[in-house]
Chain A
């Protein structure tokens, strides 16, 4: 089955620093990847859609200069949280759309990255 990995799985950083999270599709090509954020006991909120070779599309209310997204290849997208603050502490999850999948347009999720900003 389609596997998506994320790295790191958890990170603790000081306020004001930047954190980069990687999302990789391991056994399929993903022209489109999605970044979500999930606060405790809340559902997944889409932050942005990452398209290979082009600029990401951000959802309303998500600062594109704070959450930098790069999708340089068909198997890798990165999310950089710049100048992180405690309110950015959350569970960040990526998903990848299987470009050559069975036609269900299924999104496969990475295991998530738990970010804690002190």
Chain B
């Protein structure tokens, strides 16, 4: 299977840093995506990692370790608008299909 595990819920304070972890099965793995989804809306693309290491994009960074089947999304300088679900998804080798985790609901509090 392609079980993708991520925490169900997290709470963090405005201005703080939060790390959302994601683990997945490594067999047939190609790349790892992170999406943000606000309630009642479609997901929006945040990041894509195919090589090991950290990719930084403004306040958001994403890390990947292929050998460990592990990724995290790092959000800095949290804002209230960052309250949303964050979906970890993997693509398989030779396939464009994405398999999504159940998402992590992040609540940013004042």
Contacts and interface: CB of A to CB of B under 8 A. Distances in A.
Interface string B77-110: 0000000000100010000111111110000000
18 contacts: A34-B96, A34-B98, A43-B101, A44-B87, A45-B100, A46-B97, A46-B98, A49-B96, A93-B42, A95-B98, A104-B48, A105-B48, A105-B91, A106-B33, A107-B33, A107-B98, A109-B35, A109-B43
Contacts of A32: 96
Given A44-B87, A97-B96, A111 B42 contact: yes
Nearest to A6: B42
Interface residues of B, number: 21
A54 interface: no
Contacts, number: 51
- Most chain A Cβ neighbours within 10 Å, of B31, B42, B43: B42
Nearest to B105: A41
A49 B97 contact: yes
Interface in A42-78: 42-46, 49
Given A44-B100, A46-B99, A109 B44 contact: yes
A28 interface: no
Nearest to A97: B96
Given A107-B33, A109-B42, A111-B42, 20 more contacts: A34-B97, A42-B102, A43-B87, A43-B101, A43-B102, A44-B87, A46-B97, A49-B96, A93-B42, A95-B98, A97-B96, A104-B31, A104-B48, A105-B48, A105-B96, A106-B45, A107-B45, A109-B44, A109-B45, A112-B42
A100 B102 CA distance: 29
**Which 9 residue pairs across A and B have the least CB separation, nearest first?**
A109-B42, A43-B102, A112-B42, A43-B100, A104-B48, A44-B100, A111-B42, A93-B42, A109-B43
